[in-house]
Chains A and B, each alone.
Chain A
């Protein structure tokens, strides 16, 4: 029956971006977006490891109610460094700088991003920022919390705040450059026939994230610079002792840092929008709505920041407006979830690893999103603000949503990036482990928070221990789920099955070139004649006798 299909085993292309030239210089001075994506992939994996190490220390500490492992001061440093590393050095660059960097030129049919040198500069800035964050660790670690609230950060603590914040600033500029490159590339470098309405949804969502990167990041850059100035020269912009306003710092900080969570989640949603149609063999349901919901999330995202400050003494009336607007973000988010579900309806769904991650995303992100509505309600927020409920909420969005999408995307495009398949069995197993470990880690935290356990405490009353032990146990399972892929991905580089150009029979320009692609992506500029996701349209079952 399938003899004709398997007679031609896929072979690796002779020349591709990985073997175009060799040597450390060819990597460190590369201007190829695909190589820069690989550089980013290696470096963010490293920082994910560091951030994961901090996380496991936190979970170890919280196994017992009395702070037995670390002094409270050390614990403060652990959760600060965990937050800073994960937010600025993993989550924000994760999908855009790796998968996005690799795919956006391929998806729009271009030879490279618009500004390859700036793309490389962005990686160097990121690495420099990362080095500063490590320097802050080795000079004792910072204990302000990742939010760097003033006047604590600008006056009271005696830890290397300036070093760490400088690292964050550099990472911020690297993010600005990535966003700038994406926007110009999408506007100016689309292949002939690739209209906006034919762009893959992954491009749309990265475009929306890029908008936030370029509009939000400069604000946090100037905010943190003023904070450093204040710490260095005691100038009093945010210090109430000198007439400054610490709440203004929070406004300016969250003006970026709230939209920043959409920098993290939007590209993840873009990945899911690619996975669901492919593994349902169906056109995506409501393409226009999914595309514009990304833009809507980016726009709404800029006007909800003060929901982080409901108990910081802002006026009740502005709090009401911010609460209402925060609820509004649920609309475009729900549009996406419903449309993915509708895409699967009556599709021929197959459960390969990327799809497992996509399904996990849809469930976990929904829980994360709905609990966000609890927090956006003024009255309820007073009760659960700064408790483990908040911690659980954003880990459901960030880990359950974003990291899950990242893992799904990595599995999906791994054959395109490396030319080889990962082992499906091990991958499915680890997807399952991640799902179980994740829920065991973070679901108990919802209950803990609702019962009143505050976040950022090194010790807690003994009645909370049961849930904390559950959570710590879950974290160790989750760790296994992340270590396994690291092992089999590395294994697959040498022993993985050769993938062929399009192992998933997916649509999209990136699948029309070889795996791995040649340095200039396409042997000739592709011409686009159809809309995206034409699954099931020209997809006849091959007639083989």
Chain B
């Protein structure tokens, strides 16, 4: 049998029938993934836009809400995710080189880091539950502007007092036109923080949902890698899994400053 070089690549076991050759398959799959990520950008983008609109509308409440979530945990998670992006990139690299053991190690590391992220997120969610910051009144004891959810620590999660404190702080810094809101006014403003927490849970929840899908993808890649399916000839699935993972990572890179950082240290105005 005289099979030419080109026909041997054409009969690569991973080549599906609708494509002419591996190059076309790889280009189409990669392009498809980018188009899919574009839809994801629109999906997250819509919610980011809504969040920013409310942030402008209810600025003091959103700043107070922002202050009540833990920068330390948020920063930890940022590092964890950045680390997982590194391990993922290494997994793709070792797939390109076709080193089976290394691919598996890097994939498992990525999955561990992803799980750590979700664990920290769960801890943060639990804190919010503890502080009565769950919006709506179906989970927990309902949103409480003055904190006081916890019997032992009634000051915990006191959004209204935080708003008053920021106003006082601003006055002390010389902003003469700032008025310290009365208790009634502060409580009303604090109720607006409920919308902040709605977005906090919706945005990070959607992100965490994507992380879970990512962990599923990584499991699938791990099985394929264990069977030694990836090598210099064929590593598209690993590459696309990597694209997805990095995308979810980048979403967090936007979420972290928007939810945790901006205006945190500015006074009320």
Q: Which residues of A contact B (CB under 8 A)?
A: 105, 110-116, 176, 180, 183-185, 187-189, 214-219, 221-223, 225-226, 229, 232-237, 242-245, 248, 252, 255, 520, 525
Contacts and interface: CB of A to CB of B under 8 A. Distances in A.
A111 B31 CA distance: 18
B210 to A, nearest CB: 13
Contacts of B43: 218-219, 221-222
A237 B36 contact: no
B189 to A, nearest CB: 10
Interface of B: 16-20, 24, 27-28, 31-32, 35-36, 38-40, 42-47, 50, 53-54, 57-58, 135-139, 191-192, 194-195, 198-199, 202, 206
A236 B143 CA distance: 12
Contacts of B32: 114-115, 180, 184
A237 B17 contact: no
B35 A183 contact: yes
Contact of A243 (B38, B45, B47, B195): B195
A116 B40 CA distance: 21
Contacts, number: 109
A105 B19 CA distance: 12
A188 B18 contact: no
Contact of A187 (B31, B50, B139): B31
A496 to B, nearest CB: 30
B191 A235 contact: no
Interface SS, A side:
helix
Contacts of B20: 525
B35 A233 contact: no
17 contacts: A105-B18, A110-B18, A176-B39, A180-B36, A184-B31, A184-B35, A188-B24, A189-B18, A189-B19, A218-B39, A219-B46, A226-B202, A236-B198, A243-B192, A248-B53, A252-B46, A520-B17
A219 B191 CA distance: 27
B18 A114 contact: yes
Given A114-B18, A189-B28, A219-B42, 7 more contacts: A214-B39, A215-B42, A229-B202, A236-B198, A245-B54, A252-B46, A520-B17
A140 B191 CA distance: 35
Nearest to A116: B18
Contacts of B27: 188
Nearest to B44: A222
B18 A112 contact: yes
Given A114-B32, A215-B39, A226-B202, A245 B46 contact: no
Given A184-B35, A236-B195, A525-B20, A255 B46 contact: yes
A235 B137 CA distance: 8
Given A112-B17, A114-B18, A188 B28 contact: yes
Contacts of A219: 42-43, 45-46
Contacts of A525: 20
Given A114-B32, A189-B24, A226 B47 contact: yes
Contacts of B39: 176, 180, 214-215, 217-218
Contacts of A236: 135-136, 194-195, 198
Nearest to B20: A525
Contact of A184 (B28, B45, B138, B202): B28
A242 B194 contact: yes
A47 to B, nearest CB: 24
Contacts of A217: 39
A216 B41 CA distance: 11
Contacts of A248: 50, 53
B202 to A, nearest CB: 6
Nearest to A239: B195
A235 B136 contact: yes
Contact of B42 (A113, A218, A243): A218
Residue in A105, A189, A223 whose Cβ sees the most chain B Cβ within 10 Å: A189
Contact of B191 (A113, A189, A233, A243): A243
A504 B54 CA distance: 58
A188 B31 contact: yes
Given A180-B32, A187-B31, A520-B17, A215 B199 contact: no
Given A176-B39, A221-B43, A525-B20, A233 B50 contact: no
